[in-house]
Amino acid sequence: MNTHMHADHVTGSGKLKELLPGCRSLISKASGAQADVHVADSELVEFGRHKLECRATPGHTNGCLTYVCKEQGMAFTGDTLLIRGCGRTDFQEGSPTALFESVHTKIFSLPDEFKLYPAHDYKGLTETTVGEEKKFNARLTKPLKEFVDIMDNLNLPYPKLIDKAVPANRVCGLQF
């Protein structure tokens, strides 16, 4: 299950499908990437006794998803919401306004005690909560205009693998 089509690395979905017969790849229909299963906002992914609600959370990319497991009080936010930060918005149809609105309507609307698991963290942390991010997120606690200003002026370097990763990820990471 991919949260979005990555620009900084090649997905392992294709390799997993080669190694594990019957394994299926899943990604947002809005991502434009190939997969066995395409999902959209509000759809449920069921496996065993578990259900994950797919919430479209565009902004980092236009195809970002957050997976919410209500019965366990948790969500997997991908790069949309990081611990005390968020994913960049300066490529792959990124939009600071869309990201801000996604987080505030689709993630911050969850109960404060919900645990959040981002795709990665640069300080070794693995989880946070909705309540913590509402209080302490250095970017997303700002008003929209200030948030957009911050995101528009990050001046981050161009991802090193973007020219290889994006085309490869459009085809499940199989042509790298």
Report pLDDT digits (tens) over 38-70: 999 999 999 999 999 999 999 999 999 999 999
pLDDT higher than threshold 70 for residue 176: no
For 10-54, the DSSP string reads --SHHHHHHHSTT---EEEGGG----SEEE-TT-EEEETTEEEEE
pLDDT tens readout for residues 73-94: 999 999 999 999 999 999 888 9
Let me know if residue 160 belongs to a domain.
no
- Please state whether 50 falls in left (phi above 0), alpha (psi between -120 and 50) or beta: beta
- Cα separation, 57 vs 36, in Å, equals 21
Let me know if residue 133 belongs to a domain.
yes
- Cα separation, 38 vs 151, in Å, equals 29
Let me know if residue 162 belongs to a domain.
no
Supply the CATH number for residue 147's domain: 3.60.15.10
Let me know if residue 77 belongs to a domain.
yes
Let me know if residue 22 belongs to a domain.
no
Task: Tell me 47's DSSP state.
Answer: E
Lowest mean pLDDT among 101-110, 123-132, 164-173: 164-173
Rg over CA atoms, the chain: 16
Let me know if residue 98 belongs to a domain.
yes
When divided into structural domains, the chain yields a total of 1
Let me know if residue 14 belongs to a domain.
no
Q: Which domain holds residue 76?
A: 29-154
Let me know if residue 44 belongs to a domain.
yes
pLDDT higher than threshold 80 for residue 129: yes
What's the whole-number average pLDDT of the chain? 93
Q: Where are the alpha helices (DSSP H) in the chain?
A: 13-19, 96-102, 130-136, 144-152, 162-170
Structure-block tokens of residue 35: 């997969």
- Residue among 122, 96, 106 nearest 54 (CA): 106
What letter represents residue 60's amino acid? H
